[in-house]
Structure 1
């Protein structure tokens, strides 16, 4: 009699699904993740987080295959089991975007940025959605958005620690210049005081025109307190002075995650986009700024210059 084949555990099925996903066999990956979900649901050691990750993995395979409706369903299930899982939020956002459900996509991108304010895909997605929604709904597009959930601090801390641990495993080498750090838990009072002192040293260097040295001080300050808006906008000013325009954009993005109508961040990002020859985005930023402060003379002047280049 033929020997009965031993059934694979959910972890083996998940691993096999991961291998198929890596080689672009998305249909096979979907099938393997489905089997893994069934096995784990039968198991007495069922863990909601593990199950949430399996649904998120299958969602990624659906997304790659262009099956956005199923991707959204799996992300919904994943987020019920594993609330605020960044990968599920980003996958659902991408699926919503493909389905032209831009408001829901915007909310997911913004929620992901609350957990880790350095996710480039979420920044880019937020910018794309802002543009699409402004075109579709006009200046009052924010009023039509569904509510953006507030990510509890305890969740942010837990997820940022996990992300940091994963980053350490994948990138044992130290990261440089502080612009791509993982989001940290809320800083202590001691760190806030040290960060403030470093920021003031940076401000003094700016007054002397020593922008490169000021960047170093602001970077040290942001490592201790990554939630201080003015340190980002001050460093952005220095990046503009040393012609590091893409870095200036990133710093303004960070500031705008914390305060979406920050005048300095919008103005400096517009300046950087103009230098990067991205005139349309420069004009978008200035129009946003002028909705907040209609008589801002510097913005009005820059807008005139930018529109001549269109």
Structure 2
């Protein structure tokens, strides 16, 4: 259960210090949870929600020209009724096939099955609303079968208007869900989405478990950009079909992403630009080696109050608090420092720090301008290149990031920060050998920076060198035994190996060290608390203890997106769907980038869809139970 989650968790936290929100450590817990849940084969529709995050690839569904193949069958109820007359039932079963739904433009359709047998030409009855009232029940049954078969033939010849008329007459004789679905297929071929929805809705009202009709209506909803309604139908279809249909599962995946992307754009447009949680900010700032205050900005230096240099120093001192208040004060001070100017040789550094905090607030364009200005003022300030590389990497501009590292090297090839952050680039690209080499180079240049050692151990683990990785962490404990980070990340690797008790002990040590060093009410890194919560859940299924630990983390750091998303997952697994939805939506609010918002909203939309499915199709809960899933979909077996 722990395998993928723990390894990536250790990686993510260290990588968060490079502020590459989605692709590395600063990504929300959604990324970690998605891989963890994928490993554990989560049942129900939430699988698709997870896949949206994990896969994110192109989906091909219903995209070739319509064919008469892909045949609908009579409903099970109808087939059972047909057994009363073996001869007629056999004939009806042979002719009960209906055309596949016409495809969405520009997408691939599944391969067709065998073509239906030719219908023997005979004189067809003409049925109207007036004449049908005079027919016997047997005549209605016979007429409807003949009209339906003729409709199939017309559809096969792409004479859709004729087929629509024939299916309509068949419906007058018998309100059969298959007939409505067949007529919907004709409307589908003609791209008349309103009529498709009308007829498939009629079919579903007659047979709520009619999978083909649900899929046809979902496709029509999607063509009209009614993504939430399409998602609901595809989700119900997946559950009814017991997740055997890849195309339906992929459709859920596709729709979750579309719904999330649509809402994410709106959220980002109105999103307030503010600093993320103190945990996030601390991890990012700590990814650069601590340096003393620059010469001329020492605490003993006599600086003119309210000058640019005075504000710059004040901001640098505020950072050391490691609290939300301290970081907010630092951001204001760096703004004031640049505005006041009078910075002399520290102007480039002031732009560097203002750009750093603008980046953390999500003001990417303004942050990039500041970093460019910093480089222009002092090309030798390599930290500005490294931070700009982090921004480029977050935006998937890998070539630009690599170029930033090259430029930094030309100015100071012995700066260990360059090698540490370039190693992060290699790690994200799964170039583990190159990453290990750069982490080692960073250590050679400065062996006192703890995160180079930690990340080297994680990289060795990813390369499959478990023994080397464990040895690296044991050396870390020996050399950095007073740092909570060592115990936290070592615990994650132990958890990945399902060494639960040892992992919990390491997390507990990390928690206690954090409390002693900063106090429980300010500046504490809450990740060890969250990791302990997950360990107790995986080990003992102790939901109560896990929730309590997450709540403690949220009291200390209310805006920690990882704690919020972890709580959402724990609630979801217990079937507390409504509560889980609130936390998923909160996670979306806390996300920094559009990619993170999409990830969080994918879970929120999947959760919301679960509630809607339960309300609209209450019988599906029992079907999930029959598949071996809990009554409340979304839980882990």
TM-score bucket of the superposed structures, by smaller chain: 0.3 to 0.5
Question: Does 1 or 2 have the higher relative contact order (CA < 8 Å, sep 6+)?
Answer: 2
TM-score calculated relative to the size of structure 2 = 0.23
Larger radius of gyration: 2
TM-score calculated relative to the size of structure 1 = 0.44
